[in-house]
């Protein structure tokens, strides 16, 4: 069955550095992959979507890559700020052609001033 893996350990970085979060998936080939941000006590908020035929997508300080050979997506935040501290969820679409995203467990990012 399909499996989505995100690092369960929190990522701690210093303000101004680039944060890189990893999402690995196995046993299927998603047509796209989404990234969401979730703050404590709130619902996830959509950030970026990347399609299988796109290698890279950018939005302001965010960059997402999608390597279908490695079955991996990387999510980068450049010039990180304490306000970027949150949990980041990756969501490839599920297998079976429904195009419904299936969410990973998320990785917590903590940016220290």
Partner 1 sequence: DARVTQTPRHKVTEMGQEVTMRCQPILGHNTVFWYRQTMMQGLELLAYFRNRAPLDDSGMPKDRFSAEMPDATLATLKIQPSEPRDSAVYFCASGGTSAYNEQFFGPGTRLTVL
The binding site for partner 1 (CB under 8 A) comprises 32, 34, 41-46, 49, 51, 89, 93, 98-106
| Closest of 93, 90, 99, 109 to residue 2, by C-alpha | 93
Q: Among residues 44 and 111, whose Cβ is nearest to partner 1?
A: 44
Cα(26)–Cα(44) distance, rounded to whole angstroms? 23
b/e code 55-89 from CB counts within 10 Å (16+ = b): eebeeeebbbbbeeeebbbbbbbeebeeebbbbbb
Tell me how far, at minimum, the Cβ of 105 lies from partner 1, in Å: 4
Q: Among residues 80 and 87, whose Cβ is nearest to partner 1?
A: 87
Q: Among residues 101 and 109, whose Cβ is nearest to partner 1?
A: 101
Tell me how far, at minimum, the Cβ of 37 lies from partner 1, in Å: 11
Q: Among residues 41 and 113, whose Cβ is nearest to partner 1?
A: 41
The continuous run of DSSP H or E covering 14 comes out as strand 11-14
User: What pairing do the DSSP bridges indicate for beta strands 3-6 and 19-26?
Assistant: antiparallel
Tell me how far, at minimum, the Cβ of 15 lies from partner 1, in Å: 28
Tell me how far, at minimum, the Cβ of 21 lies from partner 1, in Å: 15
């Amino acid at each position: 069955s399909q499996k989505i893996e995100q690092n369960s350990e929190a990522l701690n970085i210093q303000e101004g550095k680039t944060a890189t979060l990893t999402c690995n998936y196995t046993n299927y080939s998603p047509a796209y992959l989404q990234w969401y941000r979730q703050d404590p006590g709130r619902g996830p908020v959509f950030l970026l979507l990347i399609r299988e035929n796109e290698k890279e997508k950018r939005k302001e300080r965010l960059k997402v890559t999608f390597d279908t050979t490695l079955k991996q997506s990387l999510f980068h935040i450049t010039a990180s700020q304490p306000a970027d501290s949150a949990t980041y969820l990756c969501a490839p679409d599920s297998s079976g052609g429904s195009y419904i995203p299936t969410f990973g467990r998320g990785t917590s990012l903590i940016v220290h001033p």
